[in-house]
A and B are shown apart, each in its own frame.
Chain A
Amino acid sequence: MTRIGVVVFPGSNCDRDTLRGLELAGAEAVPLWHEQGDLDGCAAVVLPGGFAYGDYLRAGVIARFSPVMRAVAAFAGDGGLVLGICNGFQVLAEAGLVPGALLRNRGLRFLGRDVRLGAERLDTPFTSLVGDGRPLRMPIAHGEGCYFADDATLDELERDGQVLFRYVREDGTRAGVDQDAANPNGSLRAIAGVLNARGNVAGLMPHPERASDRLLGSDDGLPILRSLVEAAARSERATPALVGAR
């Protein structure tokens, strides 16, 4: 069974949900403590939601300097699969492992509610099983989720296919930026998730693990986790020496 690690920072609070979601998606999911300097032989790593190190200074910035993040950065540099969810996305952005930054929500409030997401790419390790392009319903829970990058970077992301998810309306059309409830935090170009240039690191603000079972009201997030598990299993078969090397 493919082993996938979920990093636990002091202040992470979605680690157990994420472990459970990954198990439902068919992985052996194991927690990785923030002070450990290795990834315990995992074929992929997820940075979960929460408030790592209290989110002091700026969301995600202090977590960036933890021992486990050095291992995650090295793993990502070798092509290893890394997914950051919510606070995990903020950590990846602060670490420069994905482009852009997450600013305070445009309306200043912390928001916890369902949104609709459109996958822009269906050929990535994070979306290969997402399927038909129907909007995915899953929750957000964040105060700093307004995606920002300068115009040149945004153009580059669009050109290079690095926009992974956008906030969409119920009919699947792309949400606006200002005064559109479908874009909850005012993210530029309605961006909810991005990829790094190489395509092996992704971050998104909504929570697929909180929509991984019908009992939770939606299982639209499960295909994202299943895509990751399947891609991790493939990478494990392709490069067994890489796995656990760090």
Chain B
Amino acid sequence: MSQFRFAVNVTPKPGILDPQGRAVEGSLGHLGIEGVSGVRVGRRVELTVEAADPTAATAVVERLARELFANPLIESFEVEPR
């Protein structure tokens, strides 16, 4: 068994209202920054998985992402090996 480190990035799906992203975007003017758009706020989960090989470890992370970290109705996710 080896240890594998992952990050899972969860973001609101396109078209889903993201009031946090909108609030962040609305504040950018106060920083004197222009030309930034499409801000979406999500979350990132980092974790270590003990498994026989990277494929098995990835399968565990994908299941966790699907069932727990992201709600498939409103969020999409990307699994990132580290």
A58 adjacent to B71 (CB under 8 Å): yes
Q: Give chain B interface residues in 7-29, CB to chain A under 8 Å.
A: 16-17, 19-20, 23
Q: Assuming the A-B contacts A61-B71, A100-B73, A101-B73, are A108 and B16 also in contact, with contact meaning beta carbons closer than 8 angstroms in the complex?
A: no
- In the bound complex, residues from chain A placing their C-beta under 8 Å from that of B17 are 103, 106, 146, 148, 186
A2 within 8 A of partner (CB): no
Contact with B along A38-66 (1 / 0, CB 8 A): 00000000000000000001100100010
- In the bound complex, residues from chain B placing their C-beta under 8 Å from that of A103 are 16-17, 74
B77 within 8 A of partner (CB): no
Nearest chain A CB to B33's CB is how many angstroms away? 21
A189 within 8 A of partner (CB): no
Q: How far is the CA of A108 from the CA of B18 in the complex (A)?
A: 10
Q: How far is the CA of A65 from the CA of B63 in the complex (A)?
A: 14
Interface majority SS (helix, strand, loop, mixed), chain B? mixed
- In the bound complex, residues from chain A placing their C-beta under 8 Å from that of B20 are 104, 108
Contact with B along A131-149 (1 / 0, CB 8 A): 0000000000000001011
A94 within 8 A of partner (CB): yes
Q: Which of B19, B69, B71 contacts A101 (CB 8 A)?
A: B71
Q: How far is the CA of A19 from the CA of B43 in the complex (A)?
A: 36
- In the bound complex, residues from chain A placing their C-beta under 8 Å from that of B68 are 57, 61, 65
Nearest chain A CB to B69's CB is how many angstroms away? 7
Q: How far is the CA of A127 from the CA of B71 in the complex (A)?
A: 30
Nearest chain B CB to A59's CB is how many angstroms away? 10
Q: How far is the CA of A57 from the CA of B8 in the complex (A)?
A: 13
Q: How far is the CA of A58 from the CA of B75 in the complex (A)?
A: 11
Which of B16, B23, B69, B73 has the most C-beta atoms of chain A within 10 angstroms of its own C-beta? B73
A107 within 8 A of partner (CB): yes
Q: Which of A57, A61, A108 contacts B19 (CB 8 A)?
A: A108
Q: How far is the CA of A106 from the CA of B22 in the complex (A)?
A: 10
B71 adjacent to A107 (CB under 8 Å): no
Q: Assuming the A-B contacts A103-B17, A108-B23, are A57 and B69 also in contact, with contact meaning beta carbons closer than 8 angstroms in the complex?
A: yes
B19 adjacent to A107 (CB under 8 Å): yes
30 contacts between A and B (CB under 8 A): A57-B43, A57-B68, A57-B69, A58-B71, A61-B68, A61-B71, A65-B68, A94-B71, A100-B73, A101-B71, A101-B73, A101-B74, A103-B16, A103-B17, A103-B74, A104-B20, A105-B19, A106-B17, A106-B19, A107-B19, A108-B19, A108-B20, A146-B17, A148-B16, A148-B17, A148-B73, A148-B74, A149-B73, A150-B73, A186-B17
Binding site for B on A (CB under 8 A): 57-58, 61, 65, 94, 100-101, 103-108, 146, 148-150, 186
If A108-B20, A146-B17 are given as contacts, then 6 extra A-B residue pairs at C-beta distance below 8 Å, sorted by A number, are A61-B71, A101-B73, A103-B16, A108-B23, A149-B73, A186-B17
